[in-house]
């Protein structure tokens, strides 16, 4: 990931409600033991069109097959100065409709990355998503995150919101003491 371009993208998020997810969230939490290929970011629905405009693109309704699941969302993907940026307002639609995804904005974590203040998803959301995806790279990410203390109550709440506890909890227990 080009750090100068990342800083430019971070500048374009200024004043917007956002948090980084997926591989970048792992990189931030592990001091770059994992280098993400793209920048995955969630932006509040009221801010996403502004962010898209700042990057020279438009957001729209999408349906993306991620292999182990399909995302239906409002978002965009853009190559910004050679850096792929994928942005969404949230997923899956059930969590958006129920309002359970929006509470992640209240639980996002402020931290430092590349000497900049950034926001990342709660660790429990990240771990749940990685366990759900279950791809080789996701399991490697869980290994990198091993040993970080999880908030069991929040993890269970997120699993309930996603209605996936039967699938993810056995995977998570291999890496974390819950």
What domains can you pick out in the chain, each with its CATH number?
1-121 (3.30.460.40), 122-178 (no CATH)
pLDDT of 130 strictly over 70: yes
pTM for this predicted structure: 0.93
Residue 135: strand, helix, or coil: coil
pLDDT of 66 strictly over 90: no
Q: What is the mean pLDDT of the chain?
A: 91
* pLDDT in the model for residue 174: 94
Rounded to whole angstroms, how far apart are CA atoms 172 and 130? 9
Rounded to whole angstroms, how far apart are CA atoms 160 and 99? 13
Average pLDDT over residues 67-82: 86
Query: pLDDT (tens digit, 9 = 90+) per residue, 141-176?
Result: 999 999 899 999 999 999 888 888 898 999 999 999
* pLDDT in the model for residue 71: 74
CA 117 to chain centre: 16
Contact (Cβ atoms closer than 8 angstroms) between residue 124 and residue 132: no
Contact (Cβ atoms closer than 8 angstroms) between residue 98 and residue 33: no
């Amino acid at each position: 990931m080009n750090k100068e371009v990342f800083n430019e993208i971070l500048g374009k998020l200024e004043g917007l409600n956002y948090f980084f997810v997926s591989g970048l969230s792992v990189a931030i939490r592990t001091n770059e033991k994992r280098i993400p290929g793209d920048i995955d970011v969630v932006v509040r629905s009221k801010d996403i069109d502004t962010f898209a405009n700042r990057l020279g693109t438009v957001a729209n309704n999408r349906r993306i097959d991620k292999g182990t699941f399909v995302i239906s969302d409002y978002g965009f993907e853009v190559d910004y100065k050679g850096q792929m940026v994928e942005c969404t307002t949230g997923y899956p639609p059930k969590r958006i409709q129920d309002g359970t995804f929006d509470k992640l904005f209240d639980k996002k974590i402020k931290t430092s990355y590349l000497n900049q203040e950034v926001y990342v998803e709660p660790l429990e959301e990240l771990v749940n998503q990685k366990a759900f995806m279950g791809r080789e790279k996701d399991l490697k990410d869980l290994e990198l995150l091993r040993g970080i203390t999880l908030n069991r109550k929040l993890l269970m709440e997120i699993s309930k919101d996603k209605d996936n506890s039967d699938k993810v909890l056995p995977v998570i227990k291999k890496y974390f003491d819950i």
